[in-house]
Amino acid sequence: MVHDPDVQLMLRFQRGDEAAFRQLYEKYKIPLLNFIFRYCQDRRIAEELSQDVFLRVYTKAGSYRPDAMFSTWLYRIAINICLNELRSGKYRFEYELKTVDADHGDKFIEAPDHTRSINAEDKLDEEERGKRVRHALAALPPKHRVALICSVYEQLPYKEIGRRIGCSEAAVKSIIHRSKLALRDLLRKRKLYE
């Protein structure tokens, strides 16, 4: 069994300790929401899908096995839900002008009174760049998109990304390298044609 305090919480929840589930929920609700938001680019959809993930964790607790870190299992569920929703077409992922701080992605949910000192022209340029990156990211194959999001935004090691997407560390390196090249090419093409 993996030594992970979250695994212990999940095992306590399996034995009926509802407070353990609440602790896991509180710890992961914002990071998971941000992860899903980066994938679908729509806050409303991200909120709904993150609730679906926690519902799945709650209902599938009996089948949980502590073979890896709890977060690996949780994000595997999130990836599967995102991919299934994308395939089903239930949600139309829209790309709105949103500013997500790439350096502090866990802070995209901020107080309404949060302001940054930036002039209007720089703000529009920043939003346009963000929009282009989101569009280009959405054009990548789903597995490549997830790997790149995990690497760039979540700053996870290749080994952990491999666990989440179900492939080897070497495959993750290759996927991320190819994804970055494809993203660069897409951004160059879009800049030329827009």
54 and 140 assigned to the same domain:
no
Give pLDDT, residue 2: 57
Residue 104 in this model has a pLDDT that exceeds 60: no
4 and 76 assigned to the same domain:
yes
118 and 78 assigned to the same domain:
no
Give pLDDT, residue 109: 39
Give pLDDT, residue 166: 86
Tokens of 121: 């022209």
Mean pLDDT of 113-139: 64
Mean pLDDT of 61-72: 88
118 and 87 assigned to the same domain:
no
Smallest Cα–Cα separation from 61: which of 19, 3, 4, 21?
Answer: 21
pLDDT band at 83 (very low <50, low <70, confident <90, very high): confident
114 and 170 assigned to the same domain:
yes
Q: CATH number, domain at 18?
A: 1.10.1740.10
In whole numbers, what is the pLDDT of the chain averaged over residues? 78
Q: CATH number, domain at 178?
A: 1.10.10.10
Residue 61 makes CB contacts below 8 A (sequence gap 6+) with 10, 13, 14, 21
21 and 78 assigned to the same domain:
yes
86 and 4 assigned to the same domain:
yes
Domain that includes residue 85, residue range:
1-94
Mean pLDDT of 110-114: 37
3 and 53 assigned to the same domain:
yes
Q: Residue 29: in which H helix or E strand, if any? A: helix 18-40
- Looking at the structure of the chain, the number of domains it has is 2
pTM score above 0.75: no
The answer to whether position 12 is within a domain reads: yes
